Amino acid sequence: MSDVAERLERVRARLRAAVASARRAPESVRLVAVSKFQPVNAIRAAYAAGQRDFGENYVQELEQKSKELAALPDLRWHVIGHLQRNKARFVGNLASVVHTAHSVELVRELDKRATERAARFSGDETRLRTLVEINVGGEAQKSGAAPEALPEILEAIERAEHLQLAGLMCVPPQTDDPSGARPFFDQLVRLRDLHGGAARLPELSMGMTSDLEHAVLAGATIVRVGTAIFGERPRAAQ
């Protein structure tokens, strides 16, 4: 087994344990392997071990990797980094899921550009599944929408022809103890309940290497895990 395959198996075991202690169904949480700054061979190794969902932060890097890995069938790209409007065309037509919609303008641009999906995707993937990133800590340096902006962003996604409203996402402020993230995960759950519940917002994308157990207990349906699967990222790139 490759290092990546071994680490992936450990992450799956952590997820199984977390889901069991939360008394949730095993298939209720999807693992996205965050491959930013990692070489394509690491992605190939995870793919060979059965991983299909991969998260990238930077559109240029995603563009490059998606070309190199175009031959891998049913690999799904998740865009999890701050997204600028001038990248909307590429993301709109290549990603399976975008986690980081944060404004009405960005939503409109994504919808306007996501016109070539039918050539690449089929079934319910023809529309780009879109989550809204919430700046749960209200941090000036972090991206994501303010909770007050949520109603108009959600409505814009629902009006969009090529997008499918999928849920909410957050990256809580850094804390020394992983349990420090829990109040922010609970905040995302409350926002979901306030704005239509799981029927309207089925996905909650929250939890990373250090705090995935807390996220699963809070109700995450997608966890985004990088370091625990691929090892430390190259230092300059963190």
Ligand X SMILES: *Cc1c(COP(=O)(O)O)cnc(C)c1O
Per DSSP, the three-state class of 31 is strand
Burial of 142 (0-12, 13-18, 19+ CB in 10 A): middle
| 198: CB partners within 8 A, 6+ apart | 192
Q: Which of 210, 159, 211 is nearest to 185 (CA)?
A: 211
Q: How far is the CB of 80 from ligand X (least distance, A)?
A: 4
Closer by beta carbon to ligand X, 5 or else 158: 5
Closest approach, Cβ 161 to ligand X, in A, equals 27
- For the CB of residue 229, give the shortest distance to ligand X in the complex, in Å: 8
Q: How far is the CB of 136 from ligand X (least distance, A)?
A: 13
End-to-end CA distance of the chain: 27
In the complex with ligand X, which residue's Cβ is closer, 102 or 162?
A: 102
Indicate the residue among 171 and 218 with the shorter CB distance to ligand X: 171
Q: In this complex, which beta carbon is closest to ligand X, that of residue 19 or of residue 34?
A: 34
* Comparison of 114 and 169: residue with beta carbon closer to ligand X: 169
Q: How far is the CB of 202 from ligand X (least distance, A)?
A: 19
SS3 71: coil
Helix count (H) and strand count (E) of the chain?
10, 8
| Interface residues toward ligand X, by CB under 6 A | 34, 36, 57, 80, 171, 208-209, 224-228
